[in-house]
Structure 1
Amino acid sequence: MTQAADYYQNNPLIHRGRRLGQSPSAWVRSFACEDLKPLIVCRGPIRKEAMDVYAEMGISHFGILVSEKDSIAYPRALAPELRSLTDSRRVHRVPDYTGASKEERVERINQIIRIAKDNGYDSIFAGYGFMAEDGEFVDAIEKAGLTFIGPCSATQDGAGKKDEAKRTALNVDVSVTPGIDNVTARTLAKKHPSREKLLALVKAEGLDCDPKLRKDQIISLEDLADHILYASYAKGIDLFSVEELCAQVQQEVAAMFTKYPRSRVRLKAIGGGGGKGQRILGAALLTAKKLDDTTIQQAASEAPGLVREILNEVKANGVGDNKNVLVELNIEQTRHNEIQLLGNGDWCIALGGRDCSLQMHEQKLLEVSVTHEGLLAAIATAGAAGKQAEVKALESDLKVLQHMEEESERFGKAVGLDSASTFECIVDRDRHFFMEVNTRIQVEHRVTELCYSLKFTNPEDPDDFFVVESLVEAMALLARHKKRLPRPERIVRFNASVEARLNATDASLSPNAGGVIRYWSKPIQGEVRDDQGISMLNPDTCQFMKYNVAGAYDSNIALLLTTGNDRLESYERLAEVIRSTTINGDNLATNLEFHFGLVNWFLGRNVNAKPTTRFVVPYLTLVGTLKEEANKLDPLFAFVQMKKQYAKRIEAAFPSNPQAARRMSQVLDRKGILITRPMERLLGNPHLLSGWLSMNTKNFRLEKGKIVWLRNPLGVLSETYEFLHMSYRPHKPAADNIWDHDNELLQESLDFYRTLREHFGLARDEYFKLNDILKQEEPQGGFDEDTWGQIRSAHFGYEAGLELLGMLFLIGENVKFWELRVEEDLEITIPDYLTDPDLQARMKKVLVPPPATRADEIVAACGGMYYSQEAPGMPPFVTEGMHFEKGQPLYIIEVMKMFNKICAPFSGTIDKVIMQGGDGTIVQKGQPLFKITPDEIFVDVDPIEVERQTRTRTTEYLNAVL
């Protein structure tokens, strides 16, 4: 297959672009969508993308839905897309998108349909959020005579619900994760343990069940119970209590622990998504000394509380809601891979894969393409380098990808897939297990469409075709033309792509809502940025407009993507994009620097490495240890102490030339800020330090506790300024730029060594040879004695003080930074100590210290919506006069659609609940919640003692590098 640019160049008559109605081909024109009239009922990057795609397709009659939380005032715009949509008649408002309860959800569905019909829309696009996978919503749209731009209600029911999808997968020979998909049916069958009792229940509740099922003597008790449950959902009644469901789940979990010892179990709501509605339990069993029934039952006892959390999180705790929860084996060494699917009901095509293993709290962070072309290129590169273990690992991935694509197409045809969906799998080395299907477009869909475009060819004429590069466009085409669309051919655009999710999270990746973006640099060449329109300038003033990051929605701000001929090139481009991005504001925290460190970690190891879903937390813990150690060092103090030692060196080096000694001392003085300024930046940000250490892994070695440079440290210093985006650019402010006099000194020194290398005929990486030459007292290279002396003294001066950079390597060595490594077979070794929950919790606080508080109060750990209880109707976690233990839940904060249970950092007694407003109240980070009496008295740290310890530790590092 050819690359996209070559393809278009070699086919000058190809119809490219989205205005199919303007094509000279009658067949192509027949697929125009200008008459489609969609209402966009999603938000975030996908809403802006849909608006852009529809406009490019020539669709002029489209509108958007905004909630009350989406302000239309420019200064506080949560919907920055409104800046480009000047026709207010195309903006429609609702209180919220989905409603807080089942009744409100039904009301909202009817309201959205009414808005569509009253305003002349014929279709609805729900993107990847809110109601995109709501079968009830889609069914209501279809019954109203409207078109849903996405999978139809039949596909939603057959594939969108996790339990139904798993049963379909089993029927079409798709590998599935071991577990139970009908715990609600088992709960009902246990409560009414015979066919006669179940049928009596149907009669007593007046349920509308298929008469054939009543007469079926072969159907299993659980299957009959399952059909009865669906009838109860239609009537809006419950046939068992949440307590009975929780007891059944606990029983099933205990059985799973017994069947699969030393394993954890995952609970998943059937209607969850995006990380919501999932919990894992059984961590204590992984390290338990003894696995007896008591230990297992104790671990399983966590299940009831987690079930309530799950149902509460996905809002499935109302009367008549489907409360089914999957109970699955948690595959520990897992990678999260998914296949992009597209179908029209007759055909189904797989469009390659995506590795989404780099995630935390079930939220994806970095997503990477997995394609046949990319893997074949990687195999060829590894083979040429003689890396046979890597070749074998990549060949295994290629086989797994092929099997996943085959199974996904089989599954898609089985459920009559008629739009875009995603087939998600767990990959464990050379095995894979089907997990679920997302019956919607995914957040990371661009990772696929940047790798493949779709060629639709006239069945009657192979020279008559059109090419589609957007999955949003493909979904519109399928919605408008259905089965008329022929099965497309996928065409390679790029072998690799990668996406970083820019989220409103702090350095520990905890949500950080409420900040304001005041500036965002422009995208650079090769960057694909989906940012909801935040970077759009004010249409009247052409100035950047501030944007409020709200806690009402998920934490995603934007998606940053790059492409490449291979994964290495796509990662290098992403590193450059992130390095060049400046985003700042008030109370603003993002994961931009986390991504920079992470991407450079892989660039410094191997971009083809196979991280599992367990990777990010240990990696983040390791970064925390860097921060903890870096906090102990003072580079300015180190420089002053180093100067004192250098005074003796200079005197010894130039005993008969005091003028040269004085000149050396002056040069060293000039270099103070040049060296310490980037060091302070790295020491102050452990994510940057992680990336820097990773990229410089091959630039040093340790010999008997001493740093030995493997390349010129001046080159490393220059690249450090580039790495930190502090290299000289006249237009940049001084705070973000190398200072003029420092840049002059740095360039002067680099020119000096460049000239010397050229004189001696040495390559850039032959630092050792040049260094050995410069150690010779006898003139070398044809220089006279006087010139040679000047050269050697200049060399001494230019390199003086650069030993300080070695302190950064020692930090990495002391915290065992390089023990988190990629093996030859691409598996990643995670040291055991990084999986210690206590260390992980402590390093989280090192990365982001908790808000300052008095000794007699507990304050909100973060901003968000406060809840005092686990679920509606449950007792509060704590009350006045209650004693609490360390680790005991105190309250829940809902922020950016995730529920965070906050546990006590120490033990004590609740003297008074000072939180005002009750459940559902918005609180700010650091807001006092409880007056308490701690069990232990906390003693403040003496700042004088802290400074003494810092200087002592700094001196130890300095002695190791000098």
Structure 2
Amino acid sequence: MKANRDFDVEMTAMAQTTDYYMNNPLIHRDRRLGKSPSAWVRSFSCEDLKPLIVCRGPIRMEAMTVYEEMGITHYGILLSEKDSIVYPNALSPELRKLTDNSRVHRVPDYTGATKEERVQRIQQIIGIALDNGYNAVFAGYGFMAEDDEFVQAIEDAGLMFIGPCAATQRAAGKKDEAKRTALQVDVSVTPGIDNVTARTLVSKYPDREALLALVKAQGLDCDEKVLADESLSLEELADHILAASYEKGIDLFSIEELCAQVEKECAAMFRQYPGSRIRLKAIGGGGGKGQRILGASMLTKKNPTDADIAKAAAEAPELVREVLLEVKANGVGDNKNVLIELNIEQTRHNEIQMLGNGTWCIALGGRDCSLQMHEQKLLEVSVTQEGLQLEIEKAKKAGLTEQVKALETDLKVLKRMEEESERFGVAVGLDSASTFECIVDRDRHYFMEVNTRIQVEHRVTELVYSLKFTNPDDPEDYFIVESLVEAMALLAMHKDRLPRPERIPRFGAGVEARLNATDDSLSPSAGGVIRYWSKPIEGEIRDDQGICISNPDTGLFMRYHLAGAYDSNIALLLTKGDDRQAAYEHLAKVLRCTTLRGTNLATNLEFHYGLVNWFLGWNVMAKPTTRFVVPYLTLVGKLKEEANKLDVVHAFLAMKKHYAKLYADDPEAAKAASETLDRKGTLLTRPMEILLGDPHLLSGWLSINRKNFSLENGKVVWKRNPLVMVEETYEYLNMTWREDAPAAEVIWTHDRDLLNDALGFYAQLRERFGLSKDEFVKLDQILAKEKPQGGFDKETWEAIRSAHVGYTMGNELLGILFLIAEKTDFYDFRVEDNLDVTIPDYLNDPELQAAMKKVLVPPPATKADEIVTPGGGMYYAQEAPGMPPFVKEGDHVEKGQPLFILEVMKMFNKIPAPFSCTIDKILIDGTDGVIVQKGQPIFKVTPDEKFVEVDPKELERQRRATTEEYLQAVL
């Protein structure tokens, strides 16, 4: 009898028996291959792997958990003094789990702030590994995970790197090299220039003799065969010489010369591609870092003049300096190459998960990552052949012809991307996990880059596919891997022996929301403290390095300081489903049930809830582009701007006056109406006040209710029973009755009883007349008839109609919300039949976007003669070291002119002047790197125009007048 062939082992709870772990289907499997009855499976045991984990955040906790499940007992972690988990009172699960202090290795910073510090840190990490018995290093998805010099140093020290090897890092991780390889293996690439540094050198040394003389003069160690090969172009020769200069640590041209060449190349591209913008990308960037776009003015110029082109290209030098500074490639001897690419405007960002062992490469489906801002991803959803085929069949049955065509196009593009990714992976000898990133424009796609590391969103792929490794000599002998972190460890130990796996569909769809420390406008908000986090609900996958785990001794939640030194991510929230609709619906439930409270704490939780419900209200298969989020936020800002004009309590009181006038001739009826409205007051106004107070919640609510009303002659007409919508609104706001919840967080008992009575009343009538829950219009028409219906006698029928009048009275108030949608043209931002998203042009106006950002997050209170910081972070007075400051005392600045840089969570934000003024005094030490707080005065100024404050009483009068105008439209 054969040994146990199916090693898809049972779920276990190994580390901590908490709801967090028990609800997470991505962790807690017994992954110890060494315990298998199969000798072939046992041969892939990784129990001898001794990794040093040099990353932070959720991936560190995940690696620790997976390694323990694999039977790996000797591992350690690197811990920076700037990491949030070292703050007082932060009861880190990593440190609680790893109680052996000798395996926690503390460093000042994970990478170092300069090139010199980075080199020191690399040697320090290698020293820690060698001195403490580790034989491998795992860098996760941050810091030096894609640094080929780091990986080469690890390999030279005789250690394993759990990730792509140095050769693959160089061939695939450097954007210029990757693009050249892609062209060689017939991969579709974005039009552009990948060798501007070589062109810069050739511009300075314009012939072969000059280049060879340079090699001699600088004493560069170049391959003599390459130097003698006259078949090479000057640019190819220049590339070889530049590589030697990097090895020696010298520059062969100045940054100013590079900037001039980039400006020249941009001008040529603007001529070649009129009406387009250009994207600059540092070759060593990642996670959205080191990228800038120029030429916004060119979008409207299909026949640009020389002056137009020169003006647009002149933006390049400043942006080149920015990208080099951001990726720390502005030092002497750094590779300063920058890709100059055509910016594909209507693009979706799709990526393919790859896995390889150096010989084979397998694609594991795609992820749509188009919903992003500041080049940072926000919401990611799985894209698989099986999932698209399922949606195609559903659309065919529903007769949705345009949707079928769109989905079939996506399926064809996905298949091509997967095929190309596998060819590329083999070409670069991919021997671990990586991601093949593309931009998609309808039926076309362009390769962008390869991330030679595991991705933050790798869990999305783990939800939809598992890997089946089968014995080549026995098809019944196999083992299953459901973790990419586990697969990377397997490849580090056994890559040459691992057979090419088969991908096995797991769940139909997966979706991930990145919970970040950002404000309502999605600007980073560092420094907050989490004091309470609700427990995960059933089916929630909360990948948060364990922040939400309570103190096991006291059961109390431990405060967690979001230090903000590295990035804004708090957690990754994932859900799965049989299809995308189900995954989105469950994600909406997860977001609805999540409560985060703290001090100075701002998150994008409400943004995600509104966004997910926007898609649920329209179509979860929609195709948003990477330009979706900013105009969407602008529209949400317009919702808030309009909502700020309204006063719900005043609307309710004005409605009472309306009914008093309506029944002025019948005192008893007037009294009954007043009493009825008083009973319903808080039932209606409490949820409305919450919706009006948070535009993200309002956006989601309007989206899922867009088919529940119509406007006829400016009046709201209900298509569903408003009281059913009230019930659903309480559920939407997570305010349904719960005995253990504070009264402030749930429907009040008298409101609950009133609502239940009303819903029960209508349920009995629907049953009597054979109507469904959604046939309110028909029921309302029946109840409008004076003649008894449904076999009721006259007296009972009159009582029923009277009750109906009472239950419907005041519901008009809810219609105000729909009038806000009408006033802001909210539904013009929509999904078409072919799944394209239509974004009204006016929402792309930069001035409107800036104005609505201030509506979403009003600037800190300030005096008329001061300019303060809009948020906390690290202050820089100049663009880059050695450059002059943005402003000095006595300067006059125009509105929008850069004043300083505020670095928040590794993002460099240029802070513009909020108004035209003269800088009288700089109130802060000019030393770069000083920490500033939100609202801290930076400059004393003399404004060009005098500020006139608006009388609060006048504002209140305007609110009430606007409220009454709205009310007239619903009564």
TM-score bracket, shorter-length normalisation: over 0.9
Partner of 2:793: 784
Which 4+ stretches in 1 moved above 6 angstroms?
6-11
Task: Using the TM superposition, give the Cα deviation of residue 538 of structure 1 relative to its aligned residue in structure 2, in angstroms.
Answer: 1.4
Q: Deviation digits for residues 861-907 of structure 1, max 9, x if unmatched? A: 11110000010100000000011111111000011111001111111
Structure 2 CA distance for aligned equivalents of residues 661 and 622 of structure 1:
41
Say yes or no: does 1:541 pair with 2:554. Answer: yes
- Partner residue in 2 for 1:150: 163
Q: Percent identity?
A: 74
Give, in whole Å, the separation in 1 of the partners of 2:494 and 2:390. Answer: 37
What secondary structure does 1:271 align onto? coil
Structure-to-structure mapping, 1:94-493, within 5 angstroms: 94-288=107-301, 291-493=304-506
Is 1:707 matched up with 2:720? no
Residues 16, 680 of structure 1: alpha-carbon distance in 2 compared, 3 angstrom cutoff: closer
Q: Verify the 8 A CA contact 1:16 1:467 in the aligned structure 2.
A: no
Q: CA deviation at 1:496?
A: 0.8
Q: Which amino acid aligns with 2:457?
A: E
Q: 1:664 Cα deviation (Å)?
A: 3.6
The one-letter code matched in structure 1 to 2:216 is: K
Alignment TM-score, normalising by the size of structure 2: 0.96
Matched, 1:887 2:896: yes
- Name the counterpart of 2:965: 956
Q: What residue number does 1:798 align with?
A: 807
Q: Contact 1:420–1:440 (CA<8 Å) still a contact in 2?
A: yes
CA distance in 2 between counterparts of 1:405 and 1:684 reads: 45
Which residue does the alignment assign to 2:946?
Answer: 937
Post-superposition Cα deviations, 1:65-105, rounded to whole Å, max 9, x if no partner, equal: 00111266574439552232211111001110111111111
Q: What are the residue-to-residue correspondences of 1:477-626 with 2, within 5 Å?
A: 477-626=490-639
**1:3 alignment partner in structure 2:** none
Q: Distance in 2 between matches of 1:579 and 1:887?
A: 38
Question: Aligned partner of 1:691: which letter?
Answer: G
Aligned to 1:905: 914
Q: Which moved more, 1:517-526 or 1:146-155?
A: 517-526
Q: Are positions 1:896 and 2:909 aligned together?
A: no
Supply the AA of the counterpart residue of 2:445.
H
Structural RMSD (CA): 1.6
1:276-319 per-residue CA deviation (whole Å, 9 max, x = no partner) reads 10000000111248610011101111100001111111111110
SS in 2 for 1:562: strand
SS of residue matched to 1:575:
helix
Corresponding residue of 1:757:
766
- 2:609 is paired with a residue whose SS is helix
AA at the equivalent of 1:950: R
Q: Could you tell me which residue of structure 1 aligns to residue 42 of structure 2?
A: 29
Q: 2:67 aligns with which of 50, 54, 58?
A: 54
- CA deviations 1:158-213 (Å, max 9, x no partner) are 00000000000011110000000000010011101111111111111110000101
Structure 2 residue corresponding to 1:662, chosen from 658, 661, 671? 671
d(CA) in 2 for partners of 1:393, 1:110: 52
- Maintained 8 Å contact 2:709/2:719: yes
C-alpha deviation, 1:793, in angstroms: 1.4
Q: CA contact under 8 A between 2:613 and 2:704: conserved in structure 1?
A: yes
Separation in 2, partners of 1:61, 1:289: 62
Is 1:91 the counterpart of 2:104? The answer is yes
Q: Distance in 1 between matches of 2:813 and 2:672?
A: 20
Structure 2: runs of 5 or more not aligned? 1-5, 12-27
Relative to structure 1, the CA distance from residue 539 to residue 85 in structure 2 (aligned partners, 3 Å threshold; closer, same or farther) is: farther
Q: C-alpha distance in 2, partners of 1:846/1:581?
A: 25
CA distance in 2, matches of 1:661, 1:730: 36
- CA spacing shift, 1:7–1:18, aligned 2, 3 Å: closer
Counterpart amino acid of residue 589 in structure 1: A
Aligned mates of 2:837, 2:669 — CA distance in 1: 52
2-side partners of 1:72 and 1:714: how far apart? Answer: 47
- For residues 10 and 18 of structure 1, do their structure 2 counterparts lie closer, same or farther at Cα, with a shift above 3 Å needed? closer
Q: Which residue of 2 aligns with 1:863?
A: 872
Unpaired segments of 5 or more residues in structure 1? 1-5
The answer to whether the 8 A contact 2:84-2:561 is kept is no
Distance 2:861 2:869 in 1: 10
Distance 1:506 1:363 in 2: 15
The equivalent of 2:90 in structure 1 is 77
The residue identity in structure 1 corresponding to 2:286 is: G
CA contact (8 A) 1:42 1:129 kept: yes
Helix, strand or coil at the partner of 1:350: strand
* Amino acid paired to 1:849: P
- Is 1:725 the counterpart of 2:734? The answer is yes
In structure 1, C-alpha distance between the alignment counterparts of 2:75 and 2:786, rounded to whole Å: 79
CA distance in 1, matches of 2:567, 2:93: 16
Once residues 733 and 29 of structure 2 are traced to their aligned partners in structure 1, the CA distance between those partners, rounded to angstroms, is 40
Are 1:675 and 2:684 matched, yes or no?
A: yes
**Structure 2 residue 883 is the aligned partner of structure 1 residue 874:** yes
Count of residue correspondences: 950
Give me the whole-angstrom Cα distance separating, in 1, the residues matched to 2:71 and 2:512.
Answer: 28
Amino acid at match of 2:581: L
Q: Is the 8 A contact 1:78 1:548 kept in 2?
A: no
Query: Which shifted more, 131-140 or 757-766?
Result: 757-766
1:684 alignment counterpart:
693
Kept after mapping to 2: 8 A contact 1:74/1:80: no
Q: Which residue of the other structure, out of 644, 649, 655, is the alignment partner of 1:642?
A: 655
CA drift of 1:266 comes to 0.1
Counterpart AA for 2:181: T
Q: Higher mean Cα deviation, 408-417 or 639-648?
A: 639-648
Residue identity in the other structure for 1:807: I
* Cα drift, residue 782 of structure 1: 2.3
- Name the aligned partner's letter for residue 716 of structure 1: M
Q: CA offset at residue 670 of structure 1? A: 1.0
Deviations 1:368-406, CA, capped at 9 Å, x for gaps: 100001100100111000001100000000000000000
TM-score (norm 1): 0.97
In structure 1, distance between residues paired with 2:222 and 2:752: 80
CA distance in structure 1 between the aligned counterparts of 2:279 and 2:130, rounded to whole angstroms = 42
3-state DSSP of counterpart to 2:900: strand
Q: Partner of 2:496: helix, strand, or coil?
A: helix
Structure 2 residue identity aligned to 1:474: A
Q: 1:757 to 1:726 in 2, by over 3 A?
A: same
Rounded Cα–Cα distance in structure 2 between residues aligned with 1:807 and 1:707: 9
* Partner of residue 644, structure 2: 631
Q: Is structure 2 residue 779 aligned with structure 1 residue 770? A: yes
Measured against aligned partners, the alpha-carbon deviations of 1:442-477 in whole angstroms (never above 9, x if no partner) come to 000011010000000001111110000000000000
Find out whether 1:698 has 2:707 as its counterpart: yes
**What is the Cα deviation at residue 659 of structure 1?**
5.2
**Alignment partner of 1:817 is 2:830:** no
Contact 2:919–2:940 under 8 Å retained in 1: yes
Question: Structure 1, residues 98-123: CA drift from partner, whole Å, max 9, x if none?
Answer: 11111111110000000011110000
